[in-house]
Amino acid sequence: MVSLGILPIEMDEAHYVRDVRRLSIGATVTVADGRGNRGEATLVEVAPRRLGLDVRSLTTTPAAAPLLALLGLPKPALVVAFGACGSSRG
């Protein structure tokens, strides 16, 4: 869970931030926990196998309503359409 204060980032995530994104001390990043919590943080520590982020503000997004999917509905037994052929009687 994201909370205010120093958030340690280790191993793969640290490698991504430091070596792939090439962020350095003072960079601002957004962190999220996948539960609707998100924080704005500043990179304050860079070490070979870990980073330190200072989370200074938090926002929470309310959970979305559950999605209801109806699958495998039965087909109608018979569909009758009148006047669909375009012919006329007369």
How many CA atoms within 13 Å lie on the side-chain side of 60?
7
Which helix (H) or strand (E) is 45 found in, with range? strand 37-47
pLDDT of residue 43: 94
pLDDT of residue 44: 95
**Residue tagged 């209801």 (tokens):** 68
Give, for all 90 residues of the chain, the pLDDT tens digit.
788 999 998 888 888 888 899 999 999 999 988 888 899 999 999 988 889 999 999 999 887 778 877 777 676 666 555 555 555 555
Read off the tokens for 47: 């070490």
Which string of DSSP letters, residue by residue, matches 2-24? --SEEEEEEHHHHHIIIIIS---
**Residue tagged 């793969």 (tokens):** 12
The DSSP code for 37 is E
